Homo-oligomer: A and B are copies of this chain.
Amino acid sequence: MPSESRRFGRLLLTGADGNLGRELRPRLRRHCQTLRLSHRQEFGPAEPGEEIVLAHLENKAAMAELLEGVDAVVHMGGVSTEQPWEPILASNIVGAYNLYEAARRNRVRRIVFASSNHVTGFYRQREVIRPTDPVRPDGLYGLSKAFGENLAQLYFDRFGIETVSLRIGSSYAEPKDRRMLATWLSFDDLERLVVAALTAPVVGHTVMYGVSDNATCWWDNTPARHIGYRPQHDSEVFRAAVEARQPHLDRDDPAVQYQGGAFVRTGPFEEDGR
């Protein structure tokens, strides 16, 4: 639809060959004249309306170049699972800093930042929280995403660069386990969310959860209603199948107690934990 594609000239999608990047790639192409795709390693040729620029997030000069001529960024790049400190430091801390510095120098005005529900993973599954509650990361990954959100806040307060930080739940074709009945974000809802975050007229730095309209939910997005995200999917249709697959839960397992699930008890700490 021509009127929609006029929304953006050049849109940058980082992490274009990651799980969510691959879903968003064809969907975002509809919303811009040129979709610039970036990833760490090569991932095949550009389609019409696309251009590909490889870059490592920890490479400041490469990042500055990557953002040249860009109108807005959908930042799905970086580490997206619990990993050792070094790669997280490189991609999600140094890399996020490089991204925002590049945005500042290139006068990019809007970033959609893939944050994570693991920023608040140490809240309980029996609590309903808001984006403004204090963060409680459940590991180094969540910690690095909290850093990214604070960086976004700084670059808005200081330089006027706007960000929507999406604390994405679990974005898969369908919910895989009991926890995802609460955290599931369908791919179509992910698209709705990213497009709303890109096109809302003013967002400042808005933090919100990326989740479908699941009957069970731990997150209250009321403070972000100005984004105009209206999810259409509900994990409930998968409940019977999911409960059949995972009939028993060990209620004393921290992965069942906390919103972060298994993230709260795995990671690079274990070798010599207490």
Contacts and interface: CB of A to CB of B under 8 A. Distances in A.
A89 B94 contact: yes
A257 B202 contact: yes
A85 B97 contact: yes
Contacts of A224: 128
Interface residues on A, range: 35 or more
A267 to B, nearest CB: 9
Given A4-B240, A273-B104, A136 B159 contact: no
Contact of A226 (B132, B196, B218, B222): B218
Contacts of A218: 225-226
Contacts of A240: 1, 3-4
A251 B122 contact: no
A137 B150 contact: yes
A18 interface: no
Contacts of A256: 201-202
Contacts of A243: 3-4, 7, 199
A184 interface: no
Interface string A107-148: 101000000000000101111100010111111101100110
Contacts of A135: 150, 153
Contact of A216 (B127, B226, B249): B226
Question: Quick one: copies of this chain in the complex?
Answer: 6
A201 B227 CA distance: 31
A232 to B, nearest CB: 11
Chain B CB within 10 Å — which of A134, A135, A201 has the most? A201
Given A157-B122, A251-B109, A230 B215 contact: yes
B126 A138 contact: no
A223 interface: yes
Contacts of A138: 154, 157-158
A139 B151 CA distance: 9
A118 to B, nearest CB: 10
Given A143-B151, A215-B228, A226-B216, A202 B159 contact: no
A229 B216 CA distance: 7
A196 B182 CA distance: 13
Given A105-B272, A269-B104, A272-B105, A128 B182 contact: no
A146 B133 CA distance: 15
A143 to B, nearest CB: 6
Contacts of A75: none
12 contacts: A1-B240, A89-B93, A89-B94, A93-B147, A126-B204, A128-B223, A137-B153, A137-B154, A147-B147, A160-B274, A216-B227, A218-B225
